[in-house]
Amino acid sequence: MTQAGRRVLVTGGGSGIGLAIARAFAAAGDAVTITGRRADVLEDAASAHGLTATLADVTDEGAVQALFETPFDVVVANAGMGKAAKVVDTDLELWNRTLAVNLTGTFLTFRAAVAGMQDGGRLIAIASTQALKGGANVAAYAASKHGVLGLVRSLAQEVARKGITCNAICPGFTETEMAEAAVSGLMTRFGLDREAATAKVVSNNPMGRMIAPGEVAAAVLWLASPGAASVNGHALSLSGGEI
């Protein structure tokens, strides 16, 4: 595998962090495929940034398997979801759905990817600071991301001798639709204005700000570079010192 012209897959690549990652790889000269469940979002992103778009739900085993008829050199498991709820208010449907998308989706993606991946391949999961700690009102999300990190650390041991690495990036609150939902929820729940709600959301970040999607993309590109060839089974925190 050469550094330029690689085949790259980014799940959940139509917006937010996923799109930032896809654009960064494309700018580096790689052939990038993005997947997701929203056809309009994927098509808009693909046409605007020179990407290939494929509809796929990461919880659908068959759909995920079909993505890998031709192997990829770099696979970024970014697709995810999160909804705030206390444990007593988390019904089984929300719990199962969160684990299905965040954890099982990453498992299915990586399992299919490894089968045809060659020496020098890169598996990268977009986890969260919640993979490294717990948090009130996000038990389902935190549990799923803890699971992702366990998967990454275990798979890293299995693929190391093949010249493949498997790592996780753990961002704090990032400027995405999920963060916007958190801000809006606080505004509604506590009657806060946007500035106060945003400050509350980022209060755990010593820098007092959200992470930019481009910062996550830059970290992904580094993990996919030759210089990171010995980084394996690692959880890279992008959180301004929160973790």
pLDDT in tens, 116-166: 999 999 999 999 999 999 999 999 999 999 999 999 999 999 999 999 999
- pLDDT at residue number 177: 80
Could you tell me the domains of the chain? 7-172+212-237 (3.40.50.720), 174-210 (no CATH)
CA distance 37 to 17: 16
> pLDDT band at 75, cuts 50/70/90?
very high
| Radius of gyration of the CA atoms of the chain, in A | 17
| 121, 164 contact by CB (below 8 A) | yes
A 10 A CB-CB count for 228 gives 18
> pLDDT band at 181, cuts 50/70/90?
confident
DSSP per residue, 216-230: HHHHHHHHTSGGGTT
Active-site positions read 141
Q: How far apart are the first and last CA of the chain?
A: 34
| 4, 30 contact by CB (below 8 A) | yes
- pLDDT at residue number 2: 45
- pLDDT at residue number 7: 98
Instruction: Kindly state the tokens that stand for 4.
Output: 């330029």
| 179, 133 contact by CB (below 8 A) | no
pLDDT over 80 (residue 3): no
Mean pLDDT (whole number) for 70-91? 97
DSSP letter (8 states) at residue 87: G
What pairing do the DSSP bridges indicate for beta strands 165-171 and 52-55? unpaired
- pLDDT at residue number 1: 45
Instruction: Kindly state the tokens that stand for 108.
Output: 């299915």
Mean pLDDT (whole number) for 165-184? 90
Q: Over the stretch 11-62, which tens digit does the pLDDT of each residue have?
A: 999 999 999 999 999 999 999 999 999 999 999 999 999 999 999 999 999 9
CA distance 46 to 14: 8
Q: How many helices (H) does the chain have, and how many strands (E)?
A: 9, 7
Mean pLDDT (whole number) for 82-99? 96
- pLDDT at residue number 225: 98
Mean pLDDT over all residues of the chain? 95
| 76, 10 contact by CB (below 8 A) | yes
Q: Over the stretch 193-211, which tens digit does the pLDDT of each residue have?
A: 998 988 888 898 999 999 9
